[in-house]
Each structure stands twice: as C-alpha cells, then as structure tokens.
Structure 1
Amino acid sequence: MSDSEDEDTPQLSSHALAALQEFYAEQKQHSEPCEEDKYNIGIIDENWQLSQFWYSQETALRLAQEAITAAGEGGRIACVSAPSVYQKLRALHRQDFSVYIFEYDRRFAMYGEEFIFYDYNHPLDLPEKIAAHSFDIVVADPPYLSEECLKKTSETIQYLTRGKVLLCTGATMEGQAAELLGVKMCKFIPKHTRNLANEFRCYVNYDSGLNCET
C-alpha cells in the first residue's frame, strides 16, 4: 500500500477505539454464560393472574438441588405447576438428569418438548408420550390453596411419579396432603420473592435433605 493510500484510510480516534473494544467485550459477556447466571431463576417473569409466585433465589436453588439428588443420576424430574423450580433446574446446565414442566402458562412452550400443557382441572389429560410412573420425582406446587385443587393435582402426581413426591403448598393443607399423597411436612421453610399472606411449607414422602436444620 502506498503512503497516499494509507493516508486515505479512515483512522479511529483513541476514544472511538476504546468504545468499540468495550462494545465487543460486552457482546462476548452476553454471549457466554457467566458464573452468576446459574443462580438466576429464569427468563420468564411471574404472572399473578395465573397465581404464579416465584420462589426466592435461595429457595429455588435448594429445591432444584433436592430434586436432582432425589432423582439420581440420569433421573427424570417432573415440575407440576412449579415453574420457578423448573427454570432453576435448566439454569444449572446439568446433563445428568432430564426435566419436564407441566404448566398452564403457554409462555413455557419456548422450552420445546420439555413443555407439557397442563390444566389441573383435567389432571390426566396428558399427551401419550408421558407414560405412567415415568418420573423419579415429581415437584408440585398447586396454584391454589384449596382441597379441590390439591386433590386434582394429586391425581396427576400419582400418575407421573415412580414414588417420590416433593410438594410445596400452604401449611393449612398439611392434613389433606398427608391423606392424599402420604407426605410429611419438612423442616425447610420455602420463601418467595414477595411476601405471601399464607404460611408456605414443603412436604415429602421420602428421606429428604429438606428435613435437615437450615
């Protein structure tokens, strides 16, 4: 290249070059998941009109880890009306389990085959690909604190699970939960991102780490 051609080539100022480098650095940061990303609940926000109330980051992580441990290596996890646990499970980027979300909110269809449309009013209206007793653990959070909702959701849980159940619902549902699913209240107390009027608890029917003091 001649000296004249070199002089005609546009040159960036030091300020513009620094700005461009900063832009590329930000783009790389957004394209590569950072360590903090695995502690985010997910990209879908809660919808109060659908009776959705997300767990706190700590609770979502604890329940996700509990589900992974209970399912075992290569296990299958069903999240029934428990979208924040499902999103946390996906955010962990683990390959040693599979997970499905059974949810009325069709926004979760973005997750492809892992999304199963679910209406608790029709507890066994599930696609043929979902075989009976095909999940190592079912994590369920019925959307309403009512005996009817818990009873119908329990039908779904009993159909899906091979045995293990992790139920999250109000403390007032303890008796019904024990009767319907044989679960017992855990010591671990789940928390939400927003304060709820009703006391919330976890229930399991197996030897669980959630019964350890926290």
Structure 2
Amino acid sequence: MENYTIRNMEEEDDVPTLSAETFAALQEFYAEQQRRQEILTKLEENDKLKENILFDENWQLSQFWYHEATVQSLVKVIDKMVADGGRVALVSCPTLFVPVKRQLGARATVSLLEYDRRFEVHGPDFIFYDYNTPEKLPPEALHSYDLVVADPPFLSEECITKTSETIKLLAKDKIVVCTGTVMRENVEKLLALKICEFQPHHRNNLANEFSCYANFDLDGILRCS
C-alpha cells in the first residue's frame, strides 16, 4: 500500500501542467466552439435565421465580403441567366448564397462550394471545396451547372489556375469570375473570358483593383435591368 502511494505521487509529479497563457487560450478556444455550436443549433431550429446571419470575414482565408450594390448586381445577372429548373454554382463567394437563394426560390438549384465550414449551416446546398484539390468534387456536380460564379480566394497564378480547373469541371456553359484586375491575362488564357465594364466592390475597401469577367454579355444584362 505504501509503495503504491509513493508510485502514484511520482506519476502525478510527471504530469505536465499548462501555463496560464496556454490555459487561457484553451478556454477561449472552447468558448468559441460553444458559441459556434449555439449558432448552429439555432439555425437548425429556425431556417429563417439562415437568411439573416452574416459571419465575420476571416482574413486568414482571404475573405472579403461584397458591397451590397455588388451583391444585388450579381443577383440580377444570375436571376436572368438561370432558367427554371436550372443550376448555379457559387465557388468561394459565400455572401452571394443567401441573396441568390432568396431570389431564385424553388425554381432553380443553388450550390455553394466553399472552404469555410461555417457555411455548412446551409445543409445539402453546401459542398466543401479546397482549391488545392480542384478535381475533388461530387460526381453529380460534374458538368451539371448552367452558370458558375467564382471568386478565387487568392490573387496568385496557382489559385486562379486550380480554380479554373474546378470551373471547367462544373460548368455546362456560362461562367462569371470576379478577381483582381492583375489576374486578367490568366483569366482570359485559362477560361477565355472577357473583362466586363461592371466592377465588383467590397465592404472593406481593398488596395487591389477588382474586375469581373464573363463569357456572355453581363454588362448588357445590367444595363437593361
């Protein structure tokens, strides 16, 4: 009995202890997880809340939400280009999802392909997407979308090249890409898109100039609306 007690005391001395800073960080992590779970639970209980929630931008993921005027312009284009029973894919542009879904209603299918798993709250309309594995898509998604709208997260040749691979795998016909003007040559070469007069803007002004590219008369649609 005595030996047993001594042995356990020695074992307890060997157990590592957390520093105050590490413990505080761990508490904050679990608190954030709990807050996120509470949001998910509320959303599951009330679908209408999904239309009102807007997650904060995650700059580590290069997330920059569109200005409201840009959202409305793109929604008009999507509404015009997608026929009843059609399908639209939104690639790495999550703030478009709810407005597009609201506008199209039940007349068309809207899929969100996104890396940020916070947007899993949109249920079966959410498809996890990592541009580093551009071909990793559900079989049923291949060449099944009448319109693909994409906003690659990073202004790099690697990102636009891999995202373009995904777009080609998804698209049946029409394509819209919103990205930095500096990527124009890449977009034209990879996807044969033309730069538009319409320019997307963000809620937080960005240093880089952004442009919109399409393989149809996007500007004409906006002029007529």
- The answer to whether 1:194 aligns with 2:213 is no
Task: State the match for 1:102 in structure 2.
Answer: 113
Partner secondary structure for residue 164 of structure 1: strand
Which segments of 5 or more consecutive residues in structure 1 lack a partner in the other structure? 1-30
Percent identity, please.
Answer: 46
Task: State the match for 1:8 in structure 2.
Answer: none
Task: State the match for 1:60 in structure 2.
Answer: 71
- The answer to whether 1:134 aligns with 2:144 is yes
Contact 2:77/2:221, CA 8 A, preserved across alignment? no
- Per-residue CA deviation, residues 154-193 of structure 1 (Å, 9 max, x unaligned), is 0000000001100000011111100000101111111110
Correspondence 1:113-132 to 2 at 5 A: 113-130=124-141, 132=142
Correspondence 1:27-176 to 2 at 5 A: 42-92=53-103, 94-130=105-141, 132-176=142-186
Mapped to 1, the partners of 2:90 and 2:213 lie a distance apart of 15
RMSD: 2.3
Contact 2:79/2:104, CA 8 A, preserved across alignment? no
Task: Using structure 2 for the length normalisation, give the TM-score.
Answer: 0.73
Task: State the match for 1:22 in structure 2.
Answer: none
CA shift, 1:73, in A, is: 2.1
- Greater per-residue helix proportion: 2
Mapped to 1, the partners of 2:65 and 2:153 lie a distance apart of 11
One-letter amino acid of the counterpart of residue 104, structure 1 = Y
- Per-residue CA deviation, residues 79-124 of structure 1 (Å, 9 max, x unaligned), is 0001111132134362221100000000111111111000000001
Mapped to 2, the partners of 1:75 and 1:209 lie a distance apart of 21
**Residues matched between the structures, number:** 178
Mapped to 2, the partners of 1:193 and 1:210 lie a distance apart of 25
Task: Using structure 1 for the length normalisation, give the TM-score.
Answer: 0.76
One-letter amino acid of the counterpart of residue 84, structure 1 = T
Partner secondary structure for residue 139 of structure 1: strand
Q: Structure 1 residues 109 and 68 mapped into 2: Cα distance closer, same or farther (>3 Å)?
A: same
Which segments of 5 or more consecutive residues in structure 2 lack a partner in the other structure? 1-45
Mapped to 2, the partners of 1:148 and 1:205 lie a distance apart of 22
Partner secondary structure for residue 79 of structure 1: strand
Mapped to 2, the partners of 1:210 and 1:139 lie a distance apart of 17
